[in-house]
Protein backbone atom coordinates (compact mmCIF):
# COMPACT_ATOMS: atom_id res chain seq x y z
CA UNK A 1 0.00 0.00 0.00
CA UNK A 2 1.28 3.46 -0.80
CA UNK A 3 2.53 5.79 1.93
CA UNK A 4 -0.08 8.36 0.91
CA UNK A 5 -2.90 5.89 1.58
CA UNK A 6 -1.48 4.94 4.98
CA UNK A 7 -0.99 8.58 5.90
CA UNK A 8 -4.62 9.21 5.01
CA UNK A 9 -5.73 6.25 7.10
CA UNK A 10 -3.64 7.51 10.03
CA UNK A 11 -5.36 10.88 9.81
CA UNK A 12 -8.75 9.13 9.74
CA UNK A 13 -7.92 7.09 12.84
CA UNK A 14 -6.59 10.07 14.79
CA UNK A 15 -9.72 12.01 13.87
CA UNK A 16 -11.71 9.03 15.09
CA UNK A 17 -10.07 9.34 18.52
CA UNK A 18 -11.25 12.95 18.68
CA UNK A 19 -14.76 11.94 17.63
CA UNK A 20 -14.88 9.24 20.32
CA UNK A 21 -13.79 11.71 22.99
CA UNK A 22 -16.41 14.27 21.91
CA UNK A 23 -19.09 11.58 22.04
CA UNK A 24 -18.24 10.80 25.65
CA UNK A 25 -15.81 7.89 25.43
CA UNK A 26 -13.30 7.64 28.30
CA UNK A 27 -10.83 6.04 25.94
CA UNK A 28 -10.62 4.42 22.52
CA UNK A 29 -8.42 2.36 20.25
CA UNK A 30 -8.84 2.19 16.49
CA UNK A 31 -7.10 -0.04 14.01
CA UNK A 32 -7.00 -0.39 10.26
CA UNK A 33 -5.63 -3.30 8.26
CA UNK A 34 -5.49 -4.19 4.61
CA UNK A 35 -4.07 -7.23 2.85
CA UNK A 36 -3.85 -9.43 -0.19
CA UNK A 37 -3.41 -13.20 -0.44
CA UNK A 38 -2.92 -15.58 -3.34
CA UNK A 39 -3.19 -19.34 -3.22
CA UNK A 40 -3.80 -22.59 -5.01
CA UNK A 41 -5.10 -26.03 -4.12
CA UNK A 42 -4.84 -29.49 -5.66
CA UNK A 43 -7.39 -32.27 -5.21
CA UNK A 44 -7.22 -35.83 -6.50
CA UNK A 45 -3.70 -34.98 -7.61
CA UNK A 46 -4.83 -32.18 -9.96
CA UNK A 47 -5.06 -28.41 -9.77
CA UNK A 48 -8.47 -27.62 -8.32
CA UNK A 49 -8.51 -23.86 -8.01
CA UNK A 50 -6.53 -20.67 -7.56
CA UNK A 51 -7.59 -17.56 -5.73
CA UNK A 52 -6.81 -13.96 -4.96
CA UNK A 53 -8.28 -12.39 -1.82
CA UNK A 54 -8.19 -8.75 -0.84
CA UNK A 55 -9.48 -7.39 2.44
CA UNK A 56 -9.63 -4.21 4.47
CA UNK A 57 -11.12 -3.57 7.89
CA UNK A 58 -11.48 -1.07 10.69
CA UNK A 59 -11.95 -2.20 14.29
CA UNK A 60 -13.05 0.25 16.97
CA UNK A 61 -13.04 -0.35 20.72
CA UNK A 62 -14.17 2.29 23.21
CA UNK A 63 -14.45 2.68 26.97
CA UNK A 64 -17.66 4.29 28.15
CA UNK A 65 -19.12 4.31 31.65
CA UNK A 66 -16.62 1.68 32.73
CA UNK A 67 -17.57 -0.76 29.99
CA UNK A 68 -16.25 -1.76 26.57
CA UNK A 69 -17.92 -1.71 23.16
CA UNK A 70 -16.51 -3.01 19.88
CA UNK A 71 -17.58 -2.49 16.28
CA UNK A 72 -16.00 -3.13 12.89
CA UNK A 73 -16.41 -2.13 9.25
CA UNK A 74 -14.49 -1.49 6.07
CA UNK A 75 -15.52 2.00 4.86
CA UNK A 76 -13.65 4.99 6.36
CA UNK A 77 -16.71 7.13 5.71
CA UNK A 78 -18.56 5.04 8.30
CA UNK A 79 -16.05 5.67 11.11
CA UNK A 80 -18.18 8.26 12.99
CA UNK A 81 -21.17 5.92 12.87
CA UNK A 82 -19.07 2.93 13.97
CA UNK A 83 -17.71 4.94 16.90
CA UNK A 84 -21.21 5.97 17.91
CA UNK A 85 -22.38 2.34 17.79
CA UNK A 86 -19.39 1.23 19.83
CA UNK A 87 -20.21 3.77 22.53
CA UNK A 88 -23.85 2.65 22.58
CA UNK A 89 -22.74 -0.99 22.87
CA UNK A 90 -20.26 -0.14 25.63
CA UNK A 91 -22.99 1.29 27.83
CA UNK A 92 -24.70 -2.09 27.89
CA UNK A 93 -21.54 -4.17 27.42
CA UNK A 94 -19.06 -6.03 29.55
CA UNK A 95 -17.30 -4.21 32.40
CA UNK A 96 -13.77 -3.10 31.62
CA UNK A 97 -11.14 -3.95 34.22
CA UNK A 98 -8.98 -0.97 33.29
CA UNK A 99 -9.70 2.73 33.12
CA UNK A 100 -7.41 3.88 30.30
CA UNK A 101 -5.27 2.60 27.45
CA UNK A 102 -1.59 2.76 28.42
CA UNK A 103 0.93 5.31 27.22
CA UNK A 104 3.53 4.31 24.61
CA UNK A 105 6.50 2.27 25.81
CA UNK A 106 9.69 1.06 24.17
CA UNK A 107 8.97 -1.58 21.54
CA UNK A 108 11.35 -4.34 20.45
CA UNK A 109 11.57 -4.26 16.66
CA UNK A 110 10.73 -7.66 15.18
CA UNK A 111 11.00 -8.54 11.49
CA UNK A 112 7.66 -9.72 10.11
CA UNK A 113 7.74 -8.47 6.52
CA UNK A 114 9.83 -10.16 3.83
CA UNK A 115 10.27 -8.95 0.28
CA UNK A 116 11.19 -12.51 -0.68
CA UNK A 117 7.75 -13.69 0.39
CA UNK A 118 5.98 -10.95 -1.57
CA UNK A 119 7.79 -12.14 -4.70
CA UNK A 120 6.25 -15.62 -4.46
CA UNK A 121 4.08 -16.08 -7.53
CA UNK A 122 0.95 -18.11 -8.06
CA UNK A 123 2.80 -20.04 -10.78
CA UNK A 124 5.55 -20.87 -8.28
CA UNK A 125 3.04 -22.09 -5.70
CA UNK A 126 1.35 -24.26 -8.31
CA UNK A 127 4.70 -25.67 -9.38
CA UNK A 128 5.59 -26.68 -5.83
CA UNK A 129 2.17 -28.24 -5.19
CA UNK A 130 2.51 -30.16 -8.44
CA UNK A 131 5.96 -31.32 -7.35
CA UNK A 132 4.61 -32.71 -4.06
CA UNK A 133 1.73 -34.38 -5.88
CA UNK A 134 4.06 -36.03 -8.41
CA UNK A 135 6.36 -37.42 -5.70
CA UNK A 136 3.42 -38.99 -3.88
CA UNK A 137 1.94 -40.35 -7.11
CA UNK A 138 5.22 -42.03 -7.97
CA UNK A 139 5.20 -43.74 -4.60
CA UNK A 140 1.63 -44.99 -5.06
CA UNK A 141 -0.54 -43.93 -8.01
CA UNK A 142 -3.69 -45.01 -6.15
CA UNK A 143 -3.32 -42.42 -3.40
CA UNK A 144 -5.90 -39.66 -3.05
CA UNK A 145 -3.75 -36.53 -2.82
CA UNK A 146 -4.41 -32.93 -1.87
CA UNK A 147 -1.92 -30.06 -1.76
CA UNK A 148 -2.10 -26.34 -1.20
CA UNK A 149 0.06 -23.24 -1.08
CA UNK A 150 -0.49 -19.59 -0.26
CA UNK A 151 1.24 -16.25 0.14
CA UNK A 152 -0.10 -13.16 1.89
CA UNK A 153 0.96 -9.62 2.71
CA UNK A 154 -0.78 -7.12 4.95
CA UNK A 155 -0.26 -3.70 6.47
CA UNK A 156 -2.01 -1.81 9.22
CA UNK A 157 -2.18 0.82 11.92
CA UNK A 158 -3.16 0.96 15.57
CA UNK A 159 -3.82 4.19 17.46
CA UNK A 160 -5.06 4.56 21.02
CA UNK A 161 -6.17 7.37 23.28
CA UNK A 162 -3.15 6.53 25.42
CA UNK A 163 -0.91 7.89 22.66
CA UNK A 164 0.15 4.70 20.92
CA UNK A 165 0.54 5.00 17.14
CA UNK A 166 1.90 1.82 15.61
CA UNK A 167 2.39 0.80 11.99
CA UNK A 168 2.94 -2.83 11.02
CA UNK A 169 3.64 -4.91 7.93
CA UNK A 170 3.31 -8.70 7.73
CA UNK A 171 3.94 -11.42 5.22
CA UNK A 172 3.34 -15.16 5.38
CA UNK A 173 3.49 -18.28 3.24
CA UNK A 174 2.18 -21.79 3.68
CA UNK A 175 2.79 -25.05 1.85
CA UNK A 176 1.30 -28.45 2.64
CA UNK A 177 0.00 -31.77 1.37
CA UNK A 178 -1.97 -34.80 2.49
CA UNK A 179 -2.54 -38.28 1.13
CA UNK A 180 -5.10 -40.99 1.75
CA UNK A 181 -4.58 -44.67 1.07
CA UNK A 182 -7.65 -46.92 1.10
CA UNK A 183 -7.59 -50.71 1.07
CA UNK A 184 -10.90 -52.36 1.86
CA UNK A 185 -12.07 -50.93 5.18
CA UNK A 186 -8.62 -49.63 6.12
CA UNK A 187 -7.83 -45.98 5.53
CA UNK A 188 -4.44 -44.43 6.14
CA UNK A 189 -4.25 -40.64 6.29
CA UNK A 190 -0.99 -38.68 6.32
CA UNK A 191 -0.48 -34.94 6.13
CA UNK A 192 2.07 -32.23 6.81
CA UNK A 193 2.70 -28.58 6.07
CA UNK A 194 4.91 -25.64 6.94
CA UNK A 195 4.38 -21.91 7.23
CA UNK A 196 6.62 -18.94 7.98
CA UNK A 197 6.88 -15.22 7.25
CA UNK A 198 10.07 -15.26 5.15
CA UNK A 199 11.00 -17.53 2.27
CA UNK A 200 14.04 -19.48 3.46
CA UNK A 201 15.17 -23.10 3.81
CA UNK A 202 11.81 -23.97 5.40
CA UNK A 203 10.09 -23.27 2.08
CA UNK A 204 10.88 -26.67 0.65
CA UNK A 205 8.34 -29.11 -0.81
CA UNK A 206 10.89 -31.92 -0.48
CA UNK A 207 10.82 -31.64 3.30
CA UNK A 208 7.04 -32.08 3.26
CA UNK A 209 6.98 -35.10 0.97
CA UNK A 210 9.87 -36.66 2.88
CA UNK A 211 7.73 -36.57 6.02
CA UNK A 212 4.67 -37.96 4.20
CA UNK A 213 6.66 -40.81 2.65
CA UNK A 214 8.06 -41.71 6.08
CA UNK A 215 4.53 -42.08 7.43
CA UNK A 216 3.24 -43.92 4.37
CA UNK A 217 6.08 -46.43 4.42
CA UNK A 218 5.87 -47.09 8.16
CA UNK A 219 2.08 -47.32 7.93
CA UNK A 220 2.07 -50.12 5.34
CA UNK A 221 2.13 -52.89 7.95
CA UNK A 222 -0.61 -53.06 10.60
CA UNK A 223 0.36 -54.56 13.97
CA UNK A 224 -1.32 -55.13 17.32
CA UNK A 225 -1.25 -52.10 19.55
CA UNK A 226 0.46 -52.32 22.93
CA UNK A 227 -1.72 -51.78 26.00
CA UNK A 228 -1.25 -50.49 29.53
CA UNK A 229 0.88 -47.71 30.99
CA UNK A 230 3.53 -47.31 28.34
CA UNK A 231 6.34 -45.06 27.14
CA UNK A 232 5.30 -42.80 24.28
CA UNK A 233 7.43 -41.06 21.66
CA UNK A 234 6.01 -37.60 20.90
CA UNK A 235 7.34 -35.79 17.80
CA UNK A 236 7.45 -31.98 18.09
CA UNK A 237 3.95 -31.26 16.81
CA UNK A 238 2.42 -33.80 19.20
CA UNK A 239 4.48 -32.54 22.14
CA UNK A 240 2.93 -29.15 21.42
CA UNK A 241 -0.55 -30.69 21.55
CA UNK A 242 0.21 -32.46 24.84
CA UNK A 243 1.35 -29.18 26.40
CA UNK A 244 -1.86 -27.39 25.44
CA UNK A 245 -3.34 -27.83 28.95
CA UNK A 246 -0.37 -25.86 30.27
CA UNK A 247 -1.22 -23.04 27.83
CA UNK A 248 -4.72 -22.98 29.29
CA UNK A 249 -3.29 -23.12 32.79
CA UNK A 250 -1.06 -20.06 32.40
CA UNK A 251 -3.78 -18.10 30.58
CA UNK A 252 -4.33 -15.12 32.86
CA UNK A 253 -8.08 -15.06 32.32
CA UNK A 254 -8.39 -18.65 33.51
CA UNK A 255 -6.18 -17.77 36.48
CA UNK A 256 -8.22 -14.67 37.37
CA UNK A 257 -11.51 -16.59 37.11
CA UNK A 258 -10.16 -19.38 39.33
CA UNK A 259 -10.47 -22.01 36.59
CA UNK A 260 -6.75 -22.76 36.31
CA UNK A 261 -5.32 -25.50 38.53
CA UNK A 262 -2.07 -23.49 38.54
CA UNK A 263 -3.54 -20.50 40.38
CA UNK A 264 -1.50 -19.74 43.47
CA UNK A 265 1.32 -22.09 42.42
CA UNK A 266 3.94 -19.70 41.03
CA UNK A 267 7.36 -20.85 42.14
CA UNK A 268 6.32 -24.50 42.50
CA UNK A 269 7.94 -27.43 40.73
CA UNK A 270 5.17 -28.67 38.43
CA UNK A 271 7.19 -30.50 35.74
CA UNK A 272 10.36 -32.50 35.30
CA UNK A 273 13.36 -30.22 36.05
CA UNK A 274 14.59 -30.83 32.50
CA UNK A 275 11.59 -28.99 31.06
CA UNK A 276 11.87 -25.25 30.27
CA UNK A 277 9.11 -23.55 28.28
CA UNK A 278 9.11 -19.93 27.19
CA UNK A 279 7.11 -17.68 24.89
CA UNK A 280 9.31 -15.77 22.43
CA UNK A 281 7.42 -13.29 20.20
CA UNK A 282 10.73 -11.65 19.18
CA UNK A 283 11.93 -14.40 16.84
CA UNK A 284 12.16 -12.67 13.46
CA UNK A 285 9.76 -13.92 10.76
CA UNK A 286 8.25 -16.64 12.94
CA UNK A 287 4.49 -17.22 12.57
CA UNK A 288 3.94 -15.80 16.07
CA UNK A 289 6.30 -12.81 15.78
CA UNK A 290 4.78 -9.74 17.44
CA UNK A 291 5.96 -6.30 18.59
CA UNK A 292 2.85 -5.18 20.47
CA UNK A 293 -0.43 -6.70 21.54
CA UNK A 294 -3.87 -5.46 20.55
CA UNK A 295 -3.86 -2.73 23.21
CA UNK A 296 -0.48 -1.29 22.21
CA UNK A 297 1.48 -2.96 25.01
CA UNK A 298 4.96 -4.13 23.95
CA UNK A 299 5.49 -7.87 23.84
CA UNK A 300 8.28 -9.56 25.79
CA UNK A 301 9.92 -12.94 26.13
CA UNK A 302 8.01 -14.69 28.91
CA UNK A 303 9.36 -17.65 30.84
CA UNK A 304 6.39 -19.88 31.64
CA UNK A 305 8.22 -22.88 33.11
CA UNK A 306 11.92 -22.83 34.02
CA UNK A 307 13.58 -26.13 34.90
CA UNK A 308 10.17 -27.48 35.84
CA UNK A 309 9.21 -24.50 38.01
CA UNK A 310 6.10 -22.44 37.18
CA UNK A 311 7.35 -18.88 36.65
CA UNK A 312 4.70 -16.63 35.06
CA UNK A 313 1.12 -16.26 33.91
CA UNK A 314 0.20 -14.41 30.69
CA UNK A 315 -2.04 -11.34 30.86
CA UNK A 316 -3.62 -8.88 28.48
CA UNK A 317 -4.66 -5.42 29.65
CA UNK A 318 -8.19 -6.27 30.75
CA UNK A 319 -7.33 -9.56 32.44
CA UNK A 320 -4.41 -8.01 34.29
CA UNK A 321 -6.93 -5.64 35.82
CA UNK A 322 -9.09 -8.60 36.87
CA UNK A 323 -6.13 -10.30 38.52
CA UNK A 324 -4.46 -7.22 39.98
CA UNK A 325 -1.37 -8.08 37.92
CA UNK A 326 0.85 -6.39 35.35
CA UNK A 327 -0.11 -6.95 31.69
CA UNK A 328 2.51 -9.01 29.87
CA UNK A 329 1.56 -7.94 26.33
CA UNK A 330 -0.04 -11.28 25.45
CA UNK A 331 -3.08 -10.82 23.23
CA UNK A 332 -5.92 -12.93 24.61
CA UNK A 333 -3.57 -14.13 27.39
CA UNK A 334 -2.11 -16.61 24.92
CA UNK A 335 1.52 -17.29 23.98
CA UNK A 336 2.77 -16.13 20.58
CA UNK A 337 5.63 -18.57 19.93
CA UNK A 338 5.90 -21.09 22.77
CA UNK A 339 9.13 -23.06 22.63
CA UNK A 340 10.62 -25.90 24.65
CA UNK A 341 14.35 -25.77 25.17
CA UNK A 342 16.17 -28.85 23.82
CA UNK A 343 17.49 -31.85 25.70
CA UNK A 344 20.78 -33.66 25.20
CA UNK A 345 19.88 -36.81 23.23
CA UNK A 346 19.14 -37.06 19.51
CA UNK A 347 15.54 -37.91 18.65
CA UNK A 348 16.64 -41.12 16.94
CA UNK A 349 18.34 -42.23 20.13
CA UNK A 350 15.24 -41.37 22.14
CA UNK A 351 13.18 -43.62 19.90
CA UNK A 352 15.80 -46.36 20.19
CA UNK A 353 15.47 -46.27 23.98
CA UNK A 354 11.88 -47.59 23.90
CA UNK A 355 11.58 -51.31 24.50
CA UNK A 356 7.83 -51.49 23.85
CA UNK A 357 5.70 -48.41 23.40
CA UNK A 358 3.89 -46.14 20.99
CA UNK A 359 4.90 -43.41 18.53
CA UNK A 360 2.01 -40.91 18.22
CA UNK A 361 1.80 -38.92 14.99
CA UNK A 362 -1.83 -37.75 14.84
CA UNK A 363 -4.80 -37.76 17.22
CA UNK A 364 -8.57 -37.54 16.65
CA UNK A 365 -10.90 -36.10 19.28
CA UNK A 366 -8.07 -34.54 21.24
CA UNK A 367 -9.29 -31.67 23.39
CA UNK A 368 -12.63 -33.20 24.36
CA UNK A 369 -11.46 -33.95 27.91
CA UNK A 370 -11.16 -31.57 30.87
CA UNK A 371 -8.00 -30.06 29.40
CA UNK A 372 -7.83 -27.05 31.66
CA UNK A 373 -7.39 -29.50 34.53
CA UNK A 374 -4.54 -31.20 32.68
CA UNK A 375 -6.52 -34.17 31.40
CA UNK A 376 -5.90 -35.36 27.86
CA UNK A 377 -7.34 -38.15 25.76
CA UNK A 378 -7.89 -39.02 22.15
CA UNK A 379 -8.01 -41.66 19.47
CA UNK A 380 -4.76 -42.37 17.68
CA UNK A 381 -5.42 -41.36 14.07
CA UNK A 382 -1.88 -42.27 13.07
CA UNK A 383 0.52 -44.05 15.35
CA UNK A 384 3.15 -46.75 15.30
CA UNK A 385 4.22 -49.48 17.66
CA UNK A 386 7.84 -49.33 18.79
CA UNK A 387 9.62 -52.50 19.87
CA UNK A 388 13.30 -52.78 20.73
CA UNK A 389 13.78 -49.22 19.54
CA UNK A 390 12.32 -49.85 16.07
CA UNK A 391 9.02 -48.91 14.43
CA UNK A 392 7.41 -52.26 13.62
CA UNK A 393 4.10 -51.09 12.13
CA UNK A 394 0.95 -49.01 12.39
CA UNK A 395 -1.58 -49.42 15.19
CA UNK A 396 -5.35 -49.14 14.83
CA UNK A 397 -8.35 -48.78 17.16
CA UNK A 398 -6.13 -47.30 19.84
CA UNK A 399 -6.83 -44.63 22.47
CA UNK A 400 -4.55 -42.73 24.82
CA UNK A 401 -5.30 -40.90 28.09
CA UNK A 402 -3.50 -39.25 30.97
CA UNK A 403 -2.88 -36.01 32.81
CA UNK A 404 0.05 -33.80 31.83
CA UNK A 405 0.78 -32.79 35.41
CA UNK A 406 1.43 -36.49 36.10
CA UNK A 407 3.00 -37.44 32.77
CA UNK A 408 5.45 -34.51 32.71
CA UNK A 409 6.25 -34.52 36.43
CA UNK A 410 9.27 -36.77 36.03
CA UNK A 411 11.17 -39.04 33.64
CA UNK A 412 10.68 -36.78 30.61
CA UNK A 413 13.39 -37.12 27.97
CA UNK A 414 13.80 -34.37 25.37
CA UNK A 415 15.72 -34.48 22.11
CA UNK A 416 18.63 -32.19 21.30
CA UNK A 417 17.21 -31.60 17.79
CA UNK A 418 14.07 -29.50 17.42
CA UNK A 419 11.56 -28.72 14.72
CA UNK A 420 13.07 -25.54 13.24
CA UNK A 421 9.71 -23.77 12.90
CA UNK A 422 7.89 -24.99 16.00
CA UNK A 423 11.10 -24.87 18.03
CA UNK A 424 9.92 -27.93 19.91
CA UNK A 425 11.96 -31.11 20.49
CA UNK A 426 10.73 -34.67 20.37
CA UNK A 427 10.00 -36.23 23.75
CA UNK A 428 9.59 -39.60 25.41
CA UNK A 429 7.19 -39.71 28.37
CA UNK A 430 6.44 -42.64 30.65
CA UNK A 431 3.16 -44.09 31.90
CA UNK A 432 0.74 -42.98 29.16
CA UNK A 433 -2.48 -45.00 29.32
CA UNK A 434 -2.90 -46.88 26.04
CA UNK A 435 -5.93 -49.04 25.31
CA UNK A 436 -7.19 -50.80 22.20
CA UNK A 437 -10.27 -52.51 20.77
CA UNK A 438 -9.31 -55.34 18.44
CATH number at residue 164: 3.30.2290.10
Question: Chunked in runs of 10, what are the mean pLDDT values of the chain (438 residues)?
Answer: 82 96 96 97 94 96 96 94 96 93 97 98 97 97 97 98 97 98 95 97 97 98 97 98 97 97 98 98 97 97 98 98 97 97 97 98 91 95 98 97 97 98 98 91
| Same domain membership, residue 240 and residue 188 | no
Report the domain count for the chain: 2
Residue that finishes a domain, picked among 191, 215, 239: 215
Report pLDDT for 1. 46
Q: Are residues 209 and 235 in the same domain?
A: no
Short-list 349, 351, 390, 381, CA closest to 363:
381
pLDDT value of position 136: 97
Q: Are residues 203 and 225 in the same domain?
A: no
Give the residue from 185, 215, 245 where a domain finishes. 215
In a shared domain, residues 252 and 282: yes
350 and 280 together in one domain: yes
Residue 367 confidence (pLDDT)? 84
**271 and 348 both lie in a single domain:** yes
Which pLDDT score, from 0 to 100, does residue 3 have? 78
pLDDT for 437: 83
Q: Please tell me whether residues 84 and 152 are part of one structural domain.
A: yes
Are residues 237 and 205 both part of a single domain?
A: no
**pLDDT computed for residue 45 by the predictor:** 86
- pLDDT tens by residue, 116-144: 999 999 999 999 999 999 999 999 999 99
pTM of structure: 0.94
Burial 246-283 (b: 16+ CB within 10 A, else e): bbbbbbbbbbbeeebbbeeeeeeebbbebbbbbbbbbb
Domain of 130, in residue numbers: 3-215
Considering the domain architecture, whether residues 211 and 226 belong to the same structural domain is answered as: no
- Regarding whether 254 and 204 lie in a shared domain, the answer is no
In the listed set 180, 215, 250, which residue is the last one of a domain according to the structure? 215
In DSSP terms, which residues pair with 70 in a beta bridge? 61
Are 245 and 107 contained in the same domain? Answer: no
261 and 198 in a common domain: no
Amino acid sequence: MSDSVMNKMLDELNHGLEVAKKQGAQGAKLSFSRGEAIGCSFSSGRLKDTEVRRSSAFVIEVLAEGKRGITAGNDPADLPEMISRAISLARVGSPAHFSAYPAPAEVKKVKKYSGKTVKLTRAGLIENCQKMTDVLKRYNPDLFIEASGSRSASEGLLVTSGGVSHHFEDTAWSLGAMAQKTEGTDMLFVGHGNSFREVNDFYNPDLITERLLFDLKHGEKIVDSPEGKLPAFLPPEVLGMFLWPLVLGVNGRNVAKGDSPLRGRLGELIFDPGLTIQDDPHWDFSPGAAEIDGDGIPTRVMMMVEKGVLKNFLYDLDTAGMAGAEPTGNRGCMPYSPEVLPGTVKSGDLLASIDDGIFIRELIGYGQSNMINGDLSGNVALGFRVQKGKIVGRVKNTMIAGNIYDLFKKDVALSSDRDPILRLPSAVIQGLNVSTSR
